[in-house]
Structure 1
């Protein structure tokens, strides 16, 4: 069983209210082989919401609001769901402050990438999950 980013499963949960539908991920969900989650929504953030990036260990909106606590809460709730499902694999949205694997935006909101993981991805990695992006 996979845990997948909700936006990749076609759910309109991106920060801008859109999705990042990926045919392979949608197929896994339709076959009952994957469970979609959106850590940001699970943490209490609205959709749409301001874009956010990780800046010096904190998650900040492009308006300077510190939403780190909501991101952590959502990552913890999504991890609970992953464990309940017996999952050990995840397909997550690249570059996201929640789900990015290996590369995330640098916090300048200029589209620049740095090495690092989003909060949910880091939590899953620590728990020994196999991680991949779309």
Structure 2
């Protein structure tokens, strides 16, 4: 009985592609790459802002390149996808009760999107 080998179930590299739920999960996880690139670009922009006018203008020219714009659009799409998945999960993880009744999941999700829209509008008006 000492020499028994435990059963190890083989896992293929594409295990996540077999189920749509896992595929959406992997896509959600991969959206972090453009978000990281976007954040690093902003950090370089902040550094160039403190480095002088020439560095700032160089960063602005770099940020206007088509590759950076595509990465920024991918980052926006990734952030919206994260928000969608998070907002749809929230009513299940933390149901909101008013009195004895649970608030509808659709209302909770709609209110979250309205808050995002209101916050984005305020930020756009300030900029």
* Higher normalized helix content (fraction of residues): 2
* Higher normalized strand content (fraction of residues): 1
TM-score for both structures, normalised by structure 2:
0.29
TM-score for both structures, normalised by structure 1:
0.28
Structure whose alpha-carbon radius of gyration is higher: 2
